[in-house]
Amino acid sequence: MFSFSERLRRLPPYLFVELDRLKAEALERGMDVIDLGVGDPDLPTPPHIVEAGQKALERPENHHYPSSVGMSAFREAAAEWFEKRFGVKVDPASEVVTLIGSKEGIAHFPLAFVNPGEVVLVPTPAYPVYHIGTLFAGGETYYLPLTPENDFRPDLAAIPEEVLSRARILWINYPNNPTTAVVTREWFSQVVAFAREHGLIVAHDAAYTELYFEGYRPPSILEVPEAREVAIEFHSLSKTYCMTGWRIGFAVGCAELVKGLTTVKNNVDSGCFQAVQEAGIAALTGPQDCVEEHRRIFDERRRTMLEGLQKLGFEVYPPRATFYLWVKVPPGYTSADFCARLIREAGIVVTPGNGFGDPGEGYFRIALTVGKERLEEALSRLASLNL
């Protein structure tokens, strides 16, 4: 009776919806499913953060509409954390905005700066929301392939001039989901110089900066001084503090870009629940040993799976950050066929690489979001398939 809008009809199937369907079918068959698909940490939110949220729930002043830009106290906490972590001082009043999770900010950001028919430069394979936000804003996505030959970084020099002349936003994401690739501050400097030359906004999804290993410590693009003129960076408390369900994050950077995003939020949402923001303040300003412990746990899982997969003959891109593994499918399979076989015959859910974009074909992503024992069980099941 009713037809969806053109923008909804143009949406690709959301990646994790299909994974949920395949998983549900396996569960209905009575399989013991090991879910390594969605990047949702199994570790609980640290107790001191939960306690802060519980106490905040009891205060009547938190039961009213919050501010779209976020509590001053949360933005100050975010600015303080950012300066301690990256050595960059930002103004919490004009260069920080609270988000209902970084996904919300990423999806809304193009609405502030992209007109119908303008271009957004989107890496692929990548988090699908960069393209979806572009689509909702009426923009055109121009994909930048991430390939192993280029260390999973976009080849900016290969973008045609005709595309650059219409481009408004360049999305980047490091540490990268799904490839786990990392970059240096020097590479960020090249990106900023490119953006300034071509009048681009750089939007950096920095959700995984605190999940790092082997002596690597991810930089912020805002460590490049000139980035304050062209860049906005999206941070999430979801992965760092295992707060995926709380829905809280923040964006930081160029005041004009922050203002544009805030203006969108003023008109489409009423801000993040203040009790959740108080829990976020406890996370950002409280003891950080929980973050170190999370890194230790994910590092142990990373090494378990990396070594186990390599022994089974899989080719794995060695991760120095994130809680993912980016793995080549065995010869003779497409990504979808291989992942379907894993669910059907082994009860293992992983994500086909092509679900993140065409260049992801030939890969699958493993999320290290179950305990070590379950990962070892997954390896045992993989070995029994005689691939």
Query: Mind listing the pLDDT tens digit for each residue in 149-193?
Result: 999 999 999 999 999 999 999 999 999 999 999 999 999 999 999
Q: Would you state the pLDDT for residue 15?
A: 64
Q: Within 10 Å of residue 117's Cβ, how many Cβ atoms?
A: 9
Query: Mind listing the pLDDT tens digit for each residue in 244-281?
Result: 999 999 999 999 999 999 999 999 998 999 999 999 99
Q: Would you state the pLDDT for residue 112?
A: 98
Which domains occur in the chain, in start order? 6-44+289-384 (3.90.1150.10), 61-285 (3.40.640.10)
Question: ∠ CA(182), CA(292), CA(249), 5° rounding?
Answer: 65
Query: Mind listing the pLDDT tens digit for each residue in 298-342?
Result: 999 999 999 999 999 999 999 999 999 999 999 999 998 999 899
Residue showing tokens 């922050």? 258
pTM here? 0.96
Q: CA torsion, points 53, 56, 57, 59, in degrees to nearest 10?
A: 180
Instruction: Using the predicted structure, report yes or no on whether residue 104 has a pLDDT greater than 70.
Output: yes
Cα distance between the two ends of the chain: 48
Q: Would you state the pLDDT for residue 276?
A: 98
Handedness of CA 338, 344, 350, 354 (dihedral sign): positive
Query: Mind listing the pLDDT tens digit for each residue in 2-48?
Result: 999 988 888 877 666 767 788 888 888 889 999 999 899 999 999 99
Q: Would you state the pLDDT for residue 199?
A: 98
- Grouping H, G, I as helix, E, B as strand and the rest as coil, residue 105 is helix
Residues of the chain above pLDDT 70, percent: 99
When pLDDT is cut at 50, 70 and 90, the band that residue 365 belongs to is very high
Q: Would you state the pLDDT for residue 386?
A: 83
Q: Would you state the pLDDT for residue 239?
A: 95
Q: Which helix (H) or strand (E) holds 238?
A: helix 237-240
Q: Would you state the pLDDT for residue 14?
A: 66
Q: What is the C-alpha separation between 305 and 316, in angstroms, rounded? A: 10
- Those residues with Cβ within 8 angstroms of residue 252's Cβ, 6 or more apart along the chain or in another chain: 78, 79, 82, 90, 95, 96, 222, 232, 233, 235, 258
Q: Would you state the pLDDT for residue 52?
A: 98
When pLDDT is cut at 50, 70 and 90, the band that residue 367 belongs to is very high
Q: What is the C-alpha separation between 295 and 372, in angstroms, rounded? A: 14
Query: Mind listing the pLDDT tens digit for each residue in 105-115?
Result: 999 999 999 99
Please provide the average confidence, as pLDDT, over all residues in the chain. 96
